[in-house]
Amino acid sequence: MVAPRLHKETCVKFDTVPPGVYPDLVYPPYKSTVKRGPLLAPLRVAAALPVTANIAMPSSTIIGANVDLTRPDGCAGEAIGERIVVTGRVTDEDGKPVRNSLVEVWQCNAAGRYRHKKDQHNAPLDPNFNGWGKMLTDDDGRYRFVTVKPGPYPWGNHHKAFRPAHIHFSLFGNVYAQRLVTQMYFPNDPLFDYDPIFQSIPDEAARRRLVSRYSLEETMHEHLLGYEFDIVLRGRDATPMGI
């Protein structure tokens, strides 16, 4: 994976990502960015380690290119909800696969609640669903995982504020300082028009690249609905990051 550029201004200058693909660091409708977003122009900082360094990760903690979030270790049963499989490719701006990249995913459960102490809204927790997983891309840059479709949830940003159903993605480069974060959404969600996080990306075509595609090919008869979500790291068709 190429070294990620952590700021919009840097991405546009060095990575040929067109304006409007990455969200502004301060976007007033997304209220918390007003308090946490930097007001000064970002500075480019040299990496502490060379980009050729490998991530030091014990092999026992990584689960190849395929993981099942519906059957977490230590749980007695299966997760409740609409079972889905999500797959896709991670590529560079030239369409070349990004191999052996560490991909992390996390999400709320089917009722719209995260297994996190700060999430205390009154949706039920699922004792058989933790909501996170990690995997490596294969030689074709492909990843795959099984999960349940997350539910929308209230988040208090504005009146009647509910987040569209989404799954968070984190991709690591050659060192831990190289990390890109994005979100995957589901087709035809009526909450898109009301979600300031989704709308913080000015370019409409770029927003569409965050929406997964239903896949009849990946759908497993009577078991799983299939969705595809490809991630492009840089260039004209880059996947929006930093959301």
> In the annotation, is 163 catalytic?
yes
Supply the DSSP symbol for 211.
B
Mean of the per-residue pLDDT values for the chain?
87
Least Cα distance to 156 among 193, 196, 116 occurs for: 196
Report residue 176's pLDDT band, with 50, 70 and 90 as the boundaries.
low
Span 157-167, mean pLDDT? 98
Residue 190: the pLDDT is 98
Q: Give the 3-state secondary structure of residue 165.
A: coil
Span 163-182, mean pLDDT? 88
Instruction: Spot the catalytic one: 115, 142, 168, 179.
Output: 168
Residue 202: the pLDDT is 96
Going from the C-alpha of 29 to that of each of 24, 107, 128, 132, the distances in angstroms are 11, 23, 35, 28
Position with higher pLDDT, 227 vs 46: 227
Least Cα distance to 2 among 161, 236, 240, 234 occurs for: 234
The count of other CB atoms within 10 Å of the CB of residue 26 is 14
Buried-state track 212-240, b at ≥16 Cβ within 10 A, e below 16: beebeebeeeeebbbbbbbbbbbbebbbb
Position with higher pLDDT, 50 vs 36: 36
> In the annotation, is 166 catalytic?
yes
Asked if residue 124 has pLDDT above 90, the reply is yes
Residue 47: the pLDDT is 60
> In the annotation, is 153 catalytic?
yes
Residue 12: the pLDDT is 38
Domains, the chain, in order of start with CATH, read: 8-35+61-232 (2.60.130.10)
Report residue 105's pLDDT band, with 50, 70 and 90 as the boundaries.
very high
> In the annotation, is 83 catalytic?
no
Inter-residue contact 129 to 70 (CB < 8 Å): yes
Span 68-96, mean pLDDT? 92
Residue 66: the pLDDT is 77
Instruction: Spot the catalytic one: 153, 207, 209, 234.
Output: 153
Task: For residue 198, give the H/E element and its range.
Answer: helix 196-199
Instruction: Spot the catalytic one: 30, 114, 143, 185.
Output: 114
Report residue 72's pLDDT band, with 50, 70 and 90 as the boundaries.
confident
**22 vs 43: CA distance, rounded Å:** 17
Asked if residue 146 has pLDDT above 50, the reply is yes
Instruction: Spot the catalytic one: 5, 89, 113, 163.
Output: 163
> In the annotation, is 168 catalytic?
yes
**Structure token pair of residue 19:** 């304006």
Instruction: Spot the catalytic one: 113, 166, 207, 234.
Output: 166
Report residue 15's pLDDT band, with 50, 70 and 90 as the boundaries.
low
Asked if residue 57 has pLDDT above 80, the reply is no
Report residue 9's pLDDT band, with 50, 70 and 90 as the boundaries.
very low
